[in-house]
Amino acid sequence: MSVIVSRALPDARDGLKPSQRRILVAMNDLNLGPASATSKCAGIVGETMKRYHPHGDQAIYPTLVRMAQEWNTRYPLVDKQGNFGSIAGLPPAAMRYTEARLSPIAALMLEDFKMDTVDFVPTYDEKGTEPTVLPSRFPNLLVNGAQGIAVGMATSIPPHNLGEICDALIHRQETLSFLGFPMAR
């Protein structure tokens, strides 16, 4: 049951489900940062499936598309090019026609990735490793929200404005003292 829960519910530390995390890591492996050219989504899906997620493209491509849709994600983690569907419910184009790269916010989530800041576990085929969580500098769970349904439990966290989240953190004395700022009087 813990496998079902871990796949269906996001991790509170980075706000991502394993499939989302694996796509972002695969895009990072392909050097698809915000300054790079976009790459065919079919290649991204193939790389994700090959290295991290052996469950088929039927799960990977819709997850990639959802992370790029601004009506589903307040601050998209994927910078899209091409037809990624519409708010009216029109489906996205096939993955061979669409392109993507990491958004600047996703790049922030991956910035300290190679600096031994998170734990890694073996991949499904034990030929590599993958992170258990991303070393996010961005409060993804609070800002983009999350939805998930697992056996006997569910979550639905609404998205919040990034500026309001930052203001709330700055006004908390606990946060300021933790970060080493002098206490306000």
- What pLDDT does residue 33 have? 97
Which two tokens mark 156? Answer: 């639905």
List pLDDT tens digits, range 74-104. 999 999 999 999 999 999 999 999 999 999 9
Band of residue 15 on the pLDDT scale cut at 50, 70, 90 = very high
> Strand, helix or coil at 37?
coil
Q: Average pLDDT of the chain?
A: 90
> Strand, helix or coil at 97?
coil
Separation of alpha carbons 142 and 110, rounded Å: 17
The fraction of the chain above a pLDDT of 70, given in percent, is: 94
Q: Domains, the chain, ranges and CATH?
A: 2-140 (3.90.199.10)
Band of residue 119 on the pLDDT scale cut at 50, 70, 90 = very high
Q: What residue type is 151 in one-letter code?
A: V
**Which of these, 84, 155, 73, 82, lies nearest to 106 by C-alpha position?**
73
Catalytic residues: 97
Residue 72 is given by DSSP the state T
On whether the pTM is more than 0.85, the answer is yes
User: Which strand (E) or helix (H) includes residue 164?
Assistant: helix 162-171
